[in-house]
């Protein structure tokens, strides 16, 4: 498997993975209307471009080297809110790729890059009802807080904030 930094030309691949992953990931947690709203808000071509150009998000793509199939992606931001933290904004794997070590490889790659950047923690938000919480706990994350974010149109994101200390 190869992990490569995405460019603007790769944004349609990221969008495709998100649209193929979200219904399975959030279908039992969020309404179809909220899923559609959030996909449009976060994964439109303009939104993805702004995340890279304006918000300093970096996207990594996981790709199977045997058949060149893209399996998932992670996005992150160093020095989040001027702190020594790397914020993981997104991590999504195609349903068929889940449970096969791809998520661990993506998180390990970001952790290594964060350590090189002298960041002391990884931080992420996860929906309070997302099954991925158990995965994050196995990866060394712990819940440190929770927050409810009004994202408009009457929709809320009800999240746990999880962090993992990094050891250089």
CATH code of the domain covering residue 15: 3.40.630.30
Domain assignment of residue 52, given as a range: 2-123
- Does any domain span residue 114? yes
- Does any domain span residue 100? yes
Work out the mean pLDDT of the chain and round it to a whole number: 97
Q: What single string gives the DSSP state of each residue in 6-48?
A: --GGGHHHHHHHHHHHHHHHHTTTS-HHHHHHHHHHHHSHHHH
Q: What is the pLDDT of residues 1-26, one digit of tens each?
A: 999 999 999 999 999 999 999 999 99
Calculated CA dihedral for residues 75, 79, 85, 88, nearest 10 degrees: -10
Q: What is the pLDDT of residues 78-87, one digit of tens each?
A: 999 999 999 9
- Does any domain span residue 145? no
- Does any domain span residue 144? no
What is the distance between the alpha carbons of residues 164 and 78, in angstroms, rounded to a whole number?
A: 14
- Does any domain span residue 73? yes
Banded pLDDT at 168 (limits 50, 70, 90): low
Specify the pTM.
Answer: 0.95
- Does any domain span residue 117? yes
Q: What is the pLDDT of residues 128-154, one digit of tens each?
A: 999 999 999 999 999 999 999 999 999
SS (H, E, C) 60-102: EEEECCCCCCEEEEEEEECCHHHCCEEEEEEEEECHHHCCCCH
Name the residue among 6, 4, 112, 85 with its Cα closest to residue 53: 6
Two tokens, residue 148: 């409810």
How large is the angle between the packed helices 32-43 and 45-53, nearest 10 degrees?
A: 50
- Does any domain span residue 138? no
- Does any domain span residue 29? yes
If one counts the domains in the chain, the total is: 1
């Amino acid at each position: 498997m190869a992990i490569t930094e995405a460019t603007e030309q790769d944004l349609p691949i990221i969008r495709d993975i998100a649209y193929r992953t979200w219904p399975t990931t959030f279908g039992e947690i969020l309404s179809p209307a909220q899923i559609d709203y959030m996909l449009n808000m976060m994964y439109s071509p303009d939104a993805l471009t702004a995340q890279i150009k304006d918000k300093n998000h970096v996207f990594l793509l996981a790709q199977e080297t045997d058949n060149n199939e893209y399996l998932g992606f992670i996005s992150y931001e160093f020095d989040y809110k001027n702190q020594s933290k790397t914020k993981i904004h997104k991590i999504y794997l195609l349903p068929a790729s889940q449970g096969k070590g791809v998520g661990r490889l993506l998180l390990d790659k970001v952790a290594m890059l964060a350590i090189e950047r002298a960041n002391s923690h990884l931080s992420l938000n996860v929906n309070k009802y997302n099954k991925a919480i158990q995965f994050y706990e196995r990866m060394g994350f712990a819940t440190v807080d929770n927050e409810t974010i009004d994202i408009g149109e009457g929709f809320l994101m009800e999240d746990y904030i999880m962090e993992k200390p990094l050891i250089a």
